[in-house]
Chain A
Amino acid sequence: MTNSYLTRRGVLKTGAVAGAGVALPTIFTAGRASAFTNEPMGGTVKLGFNVPQTGPYAEEGLDELRAQELAVEHLNGMGDGGMLNTFSSKALDGTGILGKKVEFVTGDTQTKSDAARASAKSMIEKDGVVMINGGSSSGVAVAVQGLCQEAGIIFMAGLTHSNDTTGKDRKRNGFRHFFNAYMSGAALAPVLEKAYGNDRRAYHLTADYTWGYTQQESIQASTEALGWETANNVLTPVGAGDFSSYIAPVLNAGVDVLVLNHYGGDMVNSLTQAVQFGLRDKQVNGKNFEIVVPLYSELMAEGAGANIKGVYGSMNWNWQLQDEGTKAFVKSFGEKYGRPPSNSAHTCYVQVLLYADAVARAGSFNPCAVVEALEGFEFDGMGNGPTTYRAEDHQCFKDVLVMKGAENPTTQFDVLEVVEVTPRAQVEYAPEHPMFGGAEATLGECNSGA
């Protein structure tokens, strides 16, 4: 028989001593003045990649993660260097960032604002990341951007297309490389005019959240400027699945264009169902009925299959571009993963490099120094032509792509074709544009968390 001498008091005592022992180092270090939040002390620096790993956008998140991993490899001097070879700034040399090896942690946004905030918070507080990158929804981007601003770290947004991200919800610590709804409208309108003329009546189906509203507002404004009429705008619940009851009324609305302000699985379903209801074979007002999908993504286009043929939309970037930066990125991504990168992968990859470059040029991880280095930064060789990070709202200005569903795709990867590279001048707008929060919208002060 064994006797274990375990008493309640003994356990409590041991626990208290052990607890104090564990807490001891932090008691001493916590008091030490750190210059800014999560200042990297050792030989490594940690980045946080907050992407949807579960939920409806998990595939997009997975592709973002692939690109982010690749970016970290390139920063640490592994692989072929990808866009580092074509990037106009030469501050990065493949030895990490400021000589510190780059590490990363990942979080799961689940495409829900609260889950995304929780995972970002955990990466900031537990893992000590200096920057958060990624995401595939504007609701999430706005939420995480706000959190990073409060915490005093940099947020490099991933796929977020709502005007609000760099509009009324813009923040000093947040930066968006991806294009936005206004730019989609401005780029698409001339192409739509050329293809479908000036005399059209459009019917909008719009996803019922921030991105949908700004997308619809933007495309309505730019098509009405052409002379189009907007007959109706119907808000549809996100994830409705079956959109037939919203599509059926379109048949008798006397309209000849349907604009689907939907993204992701909703887009796949609404487009497929619209085609099933024969909308594309229809003639109204003596014209062929047309469908427009303002925001495209490769992964969704793949899902929509043949229904997408001839349908116009816009994108931030596409792997089929022929500039040196794109070719370098597609090569290193394709060789590693066996598939071309999506445009959300591209934006996340570029954002990671841009952050690292800004730190290298600033010579510091201090968020306020990084902000200063990124504001007004002009660069090239990243696949979109000459690009500027505008200082007033932290939005990147660059060329935008108008895309069309390919008539004869040869593989699953070229279901979309580039119709036009819209020059940057055509999609520019004033920082105080009313769709972007007007004059009241400000970035606020930079927060380093000190």
Chain B
Amino acid sequence: MQRRAERNFPGEGTMEAIILQILNGLDKGSAYALIALGLTLIFGTLGVVNFAHGALFMIGAFCAVTMQRILNLSFEQVDPSRTDFLGNPLKVQVPYIESWFGPETGGALLDWSVPLSIFLAIPVMIGLGYAMERGLIKHFYKRPHADQILVTFGLAIVLQEIIKYFFGANPIQVAAPSVFSGSFDFGAILGFDPNVIIYPYWRMVYFLFSLAIIGAVFSFLQFTTFGMVVRAGMADRETVGLLGINIDRRFTVMFGLAAAVAGLAGVMYTPILAPNYHMGMDFLVLSFVVVVVGGMGSLPGAVLAGFLLGILQSFASMNEIKSIIPGIDQVIIYLIAIIILLTRPRGLMGRKGVMED
């Protein structure tokens, strides 16, 4: 303890700081990668620039909030021994599940509400994605990109306002299961002093979760017949259609899948960032930069760029960097985008011919 207080000279502790910021970038990068993955899927298959994708992430997060509300549905019980702020007998809210399953099982269900929300989010997001594609976006395939951007952007605002109407404007806390509430002493494993490199458990869970989702999406596209057809359709839609395959139906499914990926990214992100109705917009802009940096239409590019930009953003927030270039933390992503586009106009892993016709 004493020793650490004395070291003030620069240089020492840098390694710890670097490891810490890489870890930090991983969870943010995971969210960027998942959103960008969905964006790229939609762009690659349907050729639509979906500005409502951030809103899908936000709605996913609110699936977790809804799940929490559902589990917390309660009836009122008057507790005559206590009084409320007006001096009347206090009405205590008792969740139904606690009265049905007993306080222990009920409490455990409440505790695990975020992981449980996955089961709510998957059908909701696929349904929403399907409805969006069939109900609205379908009519814009033949229209210019500008129209598609306007309609999806408008849709995003409508979805936001609906969420705000039901859930209010304040961020709503959703807690991770208490098993994951602490933090993990990473430094102790790597041989640093204890308590120097600390990383919350849930962020690690999020990182692993996103790797699993990314892996699942890639293997779905790579190893299933459905995925093969979709990849073929991405490469040459017309020819696949001429072979007698109904590519539109498959693309609709892909839209639902992309929506589900964004939604799951949102569900699991809630313990990291208390969801509010405009969180989608904050992520949307960055995710577009991620897509552009990664290369339009390239799925591995989107994932790579997501993690890269997440980590770079973390580094740019360090005091040492901020003291050299003030405000760099707020522009770093765009700066990188400019550099990449100047040196590699198609992005890191962009293919020739995408959006170049």
Measured CB to CB, the residues of A under 8 A from B are: 54-59, 232, 234, 237, 239, 241-242, 244-246, 248-249, 251-252, 254, 265, 268-269, 272-273, 276-278, 282-286, 299-300, 303-305, 319-320, 330-331, 334-335, 340, 410-411, 413-414
Contacts and interface: CB of A to CB of B under 8 A. Distances in A.
Interface stretch (B106-114, B141-149, B249-257, B313-321): B313-321
Nearest to A279: B198
Nearest to A57: B169
Interface of B: 1-2, 4-5, 7-8, 13, 16-17, 20-21, 24-25, 27-28, 82, 84-86, 90, 164, 168-173, 175, 181-183, 195-200, 202-203, 272-274, 276, 278-279, 282, 313-314, 317-319, 322, 329-330
B329 A319 contact: no
Contact of B24 (A245, A304, A331, A335): A245
A56 B173 contact: no
Given A59-B170, A304-B173, A241 B279 contact: yes
B101 to A, nearest CB: 23
A265 B274 CA distance: 8
B183 A56 contact: no
A277 B200 contact: yes
Given A234-B319, A245-B314, A248-B21, A58 B168 contact: yes
B200 to A, nearest CB: 4
Contacts of B24: 244-245, 248
Nearest to A305: B173
A252 B173 contact: no
B319 A249 contact: yes
Contacts of B16: 252
Contact of A335 (B1, B86, B172, B195): B86
15 contacts: A59-B170, A234-B319, A234-B322, A244-B24, A245-B25, A245-B28, A248-B24, A252-B16, A254-B5, A272-B173, A273-B272, A276-B202, A277-B200, A300-B170, A411-B90
B1 A241 contact: no
B273 A241 contact: yes
B202 A265 contact: no
A157 to B, nearest CB: 21
Contact of A254 (B4, B86, B172, B181): B4
A330 B1 CA distance: 48
A277 B198 contact: yes
B200 A242 contact: no
A334 B272 CA distance: 34
Contacts of B82: 410
Nearest to B185: A278
Contacts of A330: 85-86
A155 B198 CA distance: 48
B304 to A, nearest CB: 20
Contacts of B8: 254
Given A234-B322, A272-B274, A277-B200, A334 B171 contact: no
A268 B202 CA distance: 18
Nearest to A283: B1
Contacts of B175: 305
Contact of B273 (A232, A269, A300, A304): A269
Given A239-B282, A410-B90, A268 B274 contact: yes
A331 B84 CA distance: 12
Contacts of B203: 244, 276
A277 B183 contact: yes
Nearest to B282: A241
Contacts of A246: 317
Contacts of A320: 85
Contacts of A278: 182-183, 195, 198, 200
Nearest to B20: A248
